[in-house]
Structure 1
Amino acid sequence: MDKTLKAHVEYLLCIRIERVTAVSGGDISKAFLLETDTERFFCKVNSNTAAFEMFKAEKEGLAAIAATKTIATPKVLLCETWETGGFLLMDYLEAKPPRPNDMELFGHQLAALHQLSNSDTFGFPSDNYIGCLPQSNKEHLDWAGFYVEQRLRPQLRMARNAQLLSSKEIPSETELLKICETLLPKVEPSLLHGDLWSGNYLIAQNGTPYLIDPAVCFGHSEMDLAMTRLFGGFNSSFYDAYNEHYPKIGGKKERCDIYQLYYLLVHLNLFGASYHRRCKEILQRYFF
């Protein structure tokens, strides 16, 4: 963190920062632990021209989750433009390795978030980002239509334009919609974290689960669950607790594949051809 930003934060919060330490903060932004004699803060800084819009969307997503009073999120203190980009300042949360009882609580709280539906439409009032990719949230009355139009098609188009998928590997819009209308159920909109992999939650020292780095929208609750399983899955106590709140219905494997397709396409567009095989397998299995 440069001295001018440090001084700017000190001025805005009327504090004196004694120590600045670079910490892990993901692949997109630089992250720092700021320490005074009595307080600690977490600051993300990014010089990309879209950084402020990304941080503003993150702030809005955290606020939407916090407003449900079902699961904790870090408190955002500042979200501002800075030079060519922006910065986001939050309370610092010291994490601990999750224990089974922590993950059990996390499962119950995520289910509570998903069950508290306060939207009549799928989507969100504003667009946001997944990673550094723009994510459109234009509202729809129909879940399958939203998922095809606002999730799959933009990523497929991006992959084709970047020559990461060929035109022959991409199903038609008609086929996408037909299969999704067949496999995806009629559901009530749930507020989703939207990017729920293991790096986007933490367990605080007192055992409280926190959600971080959201890509929120109102959608089908199973989409968050599909993302949790994409890279190995969470602790079994998390799923056992979550499933206490939802009846067992058939077709979960197929829906999990369809929902993971979105996240795999995002990874294809962010990180390149190493994700091509998994995207192609799901596309071929369900849409051709």
Structure 2
Amino acid sequence: MEKALDRLKDILGEPQLVATPLSGGDTTQAFLLVGKNGRYFLKTSPHPDSLALLQTEAEGLHALNTTQTIAIPKVIALERIGAQPFLVLEYIESKKPEPSDFEKLGHNLAALHTAECRNDFGAASDNFIGSLPQSNRKHTHWADFYINERIWPQLQMAVSNKLLGISELPKQERLDKFCADLFKDITPSLLHGDLWGGNFLISNSGTPYLIDPSHYRGHNEVDLAMSRLFGGFGPSFYQAYREIIPTPLAEQEYIDLYQLYYLLVHLNLFGPAYHSQVSAILNRYFR
């Protein structure tokens, strides 16, 4: 770390830097850097794909920022120092969210989802969901994208990892028909892609920030479904969001089918603890 700090001093124009470890995610290590001229958020990772992980995070932050709809931490530097990459971001002093902060987050997320967007689903490059590769090959139809780039890869991985049995997989034709019927008239929105409670901040001034994106163009309800998976964001968030984007008739089906992807990801990352939730959704819709 000392060698990295010496290099980062040059990059940041700081005569001194003090690094303090912060709680990080499952795949990264985080530090607060304090210098004479400012404070910075530093991420690094021992993961074999660490450079690609941090590169795609920086790309995602840039993509979200181009919409000018919601605050994003500024990307300051992405450097490989020795064999290890380091991502330096603007440090955001944060506070515990209040209902009014959730309201603003809901309005801003809806603005992101209604920003002008390309007509296809996917992204210019693949990225990651947690530490797992996430394919973003472009498709014209949302059902095709969601089946082929999201659900089937995770189902096949779970079978390969012996976390699901082959008999538990939905029949391809049943999955295709169900999704084709459910996902009609879906238009692309730019998504955060991994919007749980650990991936937003409320600054001390009350400004909502999105962090750690797994971005692509998809159905706006994906972000809403993920936000509900681990406790939800509070009623003022959903009320504010629905003032701009009304509740769809198939909201519960969307929640279940989109949470299925994230539950499969957790099954593949963390093991059998998530099997019962995955199995429940598969049985509800495909048995």
Shift of 1:129: 0.4
Distance 1:107 1:26 in 2: 24
Q: 2:234 aligned with 1:235, yes or no?
A: yes
The residue type paired with residue 75 of structure 1 is K
The residue type paired with residue 10 of structure 2 is Y
Q: So what's the TM-score if we normalise by structure 1?
A: 0.97
The C-alpha deviation readout for 1:39-59, integer Å capped at 9, x for no partner, is 000101112221000100000
Counting only pairs closer than 5 Å after superposition, residues 9-28 of structure 1 correspond to structure 2 as 9-28=8-27
Counting only pairs closer than 5 Å after superposition, residues 201-240 of structure 1 correspond to structure 2 as 201-240=200-239
- Report how many residues are paired: 287
Q: Percent identity at matched positions? A: 48
SS at match of 1:229: helix
Alpha-carbon contact 2:75-2:90 (below 8 Å) kept: yes
Distance 1:251 1:166 in 2: 29
More moved, 79-88 vs 193-202: 79-88
Alpha-carbon contact 1:47-1:86 (below 8 Å) kept: no
Counting only pairs closer than 5 Å after superposition, residues 253-268 of structure 1 correspond to structure 2 as 253-268=252-267
More moved, 168-177 vs 228-237: 168-177
Shift of 1:123: 0.4
SS at match of 1:141: coil
Distance 2:36 2:131 in 1: 34
Distance 2:212 2:173 in 1: 33
Distance 1:241 1:158 in 2: 37
Distance 1:83 1:256 in 2: 44
The residue type paired with residue 140 of structure 2 is L
Shift of 1:37: 2.4
The answer for the alignment partner of 1:193 in structure 2 is: 192
Alpha-carbon contact 1:50-1:85 (below 8 Å) kept: no
Q: So what's the TM-score if we normalise by structure 2?
A: 0.97
The residue type paired with residue 22 of structure 1 is P
The C-alpha deviation readout for 1:126-165, integer Å capped at 9, x for no partner, is 1000100000000000001100000001101110000000
Shift of 1:25: 1.7
Distance 1:248 1:60 in 2: 30
Q: 2:191 aligned with 1:184, yes or no?
A: no
The answer for the alignment partner of 2:32 in structure 1 is: 33
Distance 1:17 1:61 in 2: 30
The C-alpha deviation readout for 1:91-136, integer Å capped at 9, x for no partner, is 1111100111111111000000001132110000110001000000
**Runs of 5+ consecutive residues of structure 2 not aligned to the other structure:** none
The residue type paired with residue 116 of structure 1 is A
SS at match of 1:258: helix
The answer for the alignment partner of 1:56 in structure 2 is: 55
Shift of 1:84: 3.6
More moved, 7-16 vs 75-84: 75-84
Distance 1:248 1:260 in 2: 17
**Runs of 5+ consecutive residues of structure 1 not aligned to the other structure:** none
Distance 2:96 2:3 in 1: 35
Shift of 1:181: 1.1
